[in-house]
Amino acid sequence: MPYVVTDACVKDFNCVDECAVGAIAPSAGDSEAGNASQVFINPELCIDCGACAGICPSSAIFSEDAVPADKQDFIEQNRAYFG
């Protein structure tokens, strides 16, 4: 079950650096970083380790099966970013 970033994301990019498989984008150096409202997790690459959730200062990252009901649309938004 992949992890999902929600709108509480403050884009500090710590999770990007923490991800062992490079499943989170954009990174701070990417040209689209300034335009993105948050970072996103690629569900195809995520290995469900939880390292990103543990380092997130705004508690914006959830396991897909634990995303709050009012944040469910972020499951598709994370998937669509990589689509």
Residue-wise pLDDT tens digits, 27-73? 999 998 999 999 999 999 999 999 999 999 999 999 999 999 999 99
Residue type, 22: G
21 within 8 A of 47, measured Cβ to Cβ? yes
Domains and CATH numbers, the chain: 3-81 (3.30.70.20)
Per-residue pLDDT band at 1 (split at 50, 70, 90): confident
Mean pLDDT throughout 6-18? Answer: 97
- Does the pTM of the predicted model rise above 0.85? yes
Task: Inform me whether the pLDDT recorded for 17 exceeds 90.
Answer: yes
Q: Which of 51, 56, 49 is nearest to 7 (CA)?
A: 56
- Residue 81 is predicted with a pLDDT of 97
